[in-house]
Amino acid sequence: MLDLSYEAPKPKVIAGAKHDWELVIGLEVHAQVASKAKLFSGASTKFGAEPNSNVAFVDAAMPGMLPVINEFCVEQAVRTGLGLKAQINLKSAFDRKNYFYPDLPQGYQISQLYHPIVGEGEVLVDMEPGIARLVRIERIHIEQDAGKSIHDMDPNMSFVDLNRTGVALMEIVSRPDIRGPEEAAAYVTKLRQILRYLGTCDGNMQNGNLRADVNVSVCRPGQYEKYQETQDFSHLGTRCEIKNMNSMRFIQAAIDHEARRQIAILEAGGEIDQETRLYDPDKGETRSMRSKEEAHDYRYFPDPDLLPLEIEQGWVDDIAASLPELPDAKKARFVKDFGLSEYDASVLTADTANARYFEQVAGDTDGKLAANWVINELFGRLKKEDHSIEDSPVSPEQLAGIIKLIQKGEISGKIAKDLFEIVYTDGGDPAQIVEERGMKQVTDTGAIEAAVDEIIAANPAQVEKAKANPKLAGWFVGQVMKATGGKANPKAVNEIVAAKLGQ
Ligand code: ADP
Ligand code: MG
């Protein structure tokens, strides 16, 4: 059971602030649909192509070119909506949002203002293992991305790359339910995880395939509760929107800075202007980009080139039936079926590749032991060489093989680590390696006894000391382990040493 009673931490005391303030944050996340073709053209979406090589006539807004909707992109938006437990609107429509940038040759962006394809949904945001907060989703709409202006290639000219123009985006708009920088990052992390599970967006923030506009306001204690009761925004402070953030770290730093800036203005008796701001990671501050446009500034109107989008419930049901197991469900199942802690289960379900690997290992081994080996040994080792789980030199079968040898008592934990290293670097079947290299644990008490006797005979002084001080028995255990190359069963060694020393 998830504990939803988590209270947002009060924002840190702001140096120099006279009053207590609370943060209110709402995010608009732009997620690029994982589609090979653009939203209204067949041009490729491949990242890193020669500038202006992935541009169809309609993307370049050549006269007379008409958009044709890409059904696959619509399906991905529906899939995303279903994954966020959201309302799917069987009728939606495209609107033109007019603005004039050199990287937007149409002079408008095709978006969905009045009738988005997806309505209200929710995201459970994990704050600590087992503790989550619910952030409501207001809507998801489909829209086109713009191109890219390049200002740093020539001192006198700017260039335009239209490869990104017309690529399909899902804009996922949250309610202002987020109460701090950490929560904002946790929300984006969870959203990204769900999108990656669904396969609707690759979540690559570095390439700009997932980026967030972060809306921040501050209010006095008690105001947010009034907003919650009434859903009336006038109880909240005026917000500023920080555009296009594509790093979890910058999202947090920008919110922190923006909150301080607003508090300083308010405490000095000033007012917050609703505006769009940019975060400068070098200076660690936000600066004004433009005053906030209202919807009427964009001269929205229904796009006359596109029919309203009508989809059938049957199609939505088919998509719903094909949804994969999502992170929350998978995590709960790992806890229940494999007896894992919430923490281990979240690490192992962070992405589907990790989860799949673990399940293959745990299929016929002890779940907790498998989790331990995957998280501590395998992940640790992969991280060292910057390998991903997909190109792990140790297959799930091999790791399961090692764990089975431990479970059967054939190798000790210490030898298992050596064995893991051998399998990691040279490959091979773990059981066979153990056989060939004589790595089997010595459980034969006769052999262990002989080794103990030998060490006792060779160290009479040490024996006297150990008889007086039982703690020194450990020294003998260590010697026996050394003499047997770490292969003696540690439990048996302890018992035999204790018996021989008369303890
Ligand atoms: P716009 O396109 O004008 O930015 P949207 O409705 O698309 O408007 O998005 C507004 C975003 O700002 C939503 O995520 C919403 O939750 C958030 N928001 C609205 N009011 C506030 C506020 N007072 N403080 C913080 N966030 C807010
Ligand atoms: Mg917006």
pLDDT in tens, 420-431: 999 999 999 999
Ligand 2 is an ion; residues with CB less than 5 A from it: 28
Contact 340, 371 (CB under 8 A): yes
User: For ligand 1, is residue 162 a contact (CB within 6 Å)?
Assistant: no
The string of pLDDT tens digits covering residues 305-334 is 999 999 999 999 999 999 999 999 999 999
For residue 217, the ligand 1 atom closest to its alpha carbon is 24
User: For ligand 1, is residue 255 a contact (CB within 6 Å)?
Assistant: no
User: For ligand 1, is residue 23 a contact (CB within 6 Å)?
Assistant: no
- 3-class SS letters over 96-151: EEECCCCCCCCCEEEECCCCCCECCEEEEEEEECCEEEEEEEEEEEEEECCCEEEC
What pLDDT, on a 0 to 100 scale, did the predictor assign at position 501?
A: 83
Ligand nearest to the CA of 215: 1
How many C-beta atoms lie closer than 10 Å to residue 299's C-beta?
A: 11
When the pLDDT of each residue in the chain is averaged and rounded to a whole number, the result is: 92
Pairing of strands 240-245, 275-280: parallel
Which burial class, exposed, middle or buried, applies to 155 when counting CB atoms under 10 A from its CB (0-12, 13-18, 19+)?
Answer: exposed
| Residue 29 CA, ligand 1 centroid: distance in Å | 11
| Residue 251 CA, ligand 2 centroid: distance in Å | 16
Lowest mean pLDDT among 31-35, 210-214, 303-307, 456-460: 456-460
User: For ligand 1, is residue 111 a contact (CB within 6 Å)?
Assistant: no
User: What does the alpha-carbon distance between residue 52 and residue 149 come to, in Å, rounded to a whole number?
Assistant: 12
In Å, how far are 122, 139, 324 from 77, measured between CA atoms? Answer: 15, 11, 15
What pLDDT, on a 0 to 100 scale, did the predictor assign at position 16?
A: 66
Give me the mean pLDDT over the 382-411 stretch. 94
| Residue 175 CA, ligand 1 centroid: distance in Å | 7
Ligand nearest to the CA of 179: 1
pLDDT higher than 60, residue 8: no
Mutate to test the pocket of ligand 1, among 138, 177, 215 (most ligand atoms within 8 A of CB): 215
Mutate to test the pocket of ligand 1, among 171, 173, 179, 300 (most ligand atoms within 8 A of CB): 173
Global confidence as pTM: 0.88
The string of pLDDT tens digits covering residues 227-275 is 999 999 999 999 999 999 999 999 999 999 999 999 999 999 999 999 9
297 confidence band (pLDDT: 50, 70, 90): confident
pLDDT higher than 70, residue 14: no
Contact 173, 145 (CB under 8 A): no
438 confidence band (pLDDT: 50, 70, 90): confident
The string of pLDDT tens digits covering residues 329-378 is 999 999 999 999 999 999 999 999 999 999 999 998 999 999 999 999 99
| Residue 247 CA, ligand 2 centroid: distance in Å | 19
| Residue 369 CA, ligand 2 centroid: distance in Å | 47
| Residue 215 CA, ligand 1 centroid: distance in Å | 6
| Residue 168 CA, ligand 1 centroid: distance in Å | 22
User: What does the alpha-carbon distance between residue 162 and residue 439 come to, in Å, rounded to a whole number?
Assistant: 61
Give me the mean pLDDT over the 43-47 stretch. 96
Mutate to test the pocket of ligand 1, among 213, 239, 300 (most ligand atoms within 8 A of CB): 239
Instruction: Name all domains of the chain by residue range, CATH numbers in brackets.
Output: 15-313 (no CATH), 324-436 (no CATH), 445-500 (1.10.10)
User: For ligand 1, is residue 26 a contact (CB within 6 Å)?
Assistant: yes
Q: Which residues contact 228 (CB under 8 A, 6 or more apart)?
A: none
User: For ligand 1, is residue 277 a contact (CB within 6 Å)?
Assistant: no
DSSP of 44-112: B--TTPPTTSS--TTTTT-TT------HHHHHHHHHHHHHTTPPBPSEE--EEEE---TT-TTSEEEE-
Q: Which of 355, 300, 294 is nearest to 143 (CA)?
A: 300
What pLDDT, on a 0 to 100 scale, did the predictor assign at position 171?
A: 98
User: For ligand 1, is residue 239 a contact (CB within 6 Å)?
Assistant: yes
pLDDT higher than 50, residue 1: no
- Between 39 and 295, the more confident residue is 39
| Residue 293 CA, ligand 2 centroid: distance in Å | 10
Residue type, 233: F
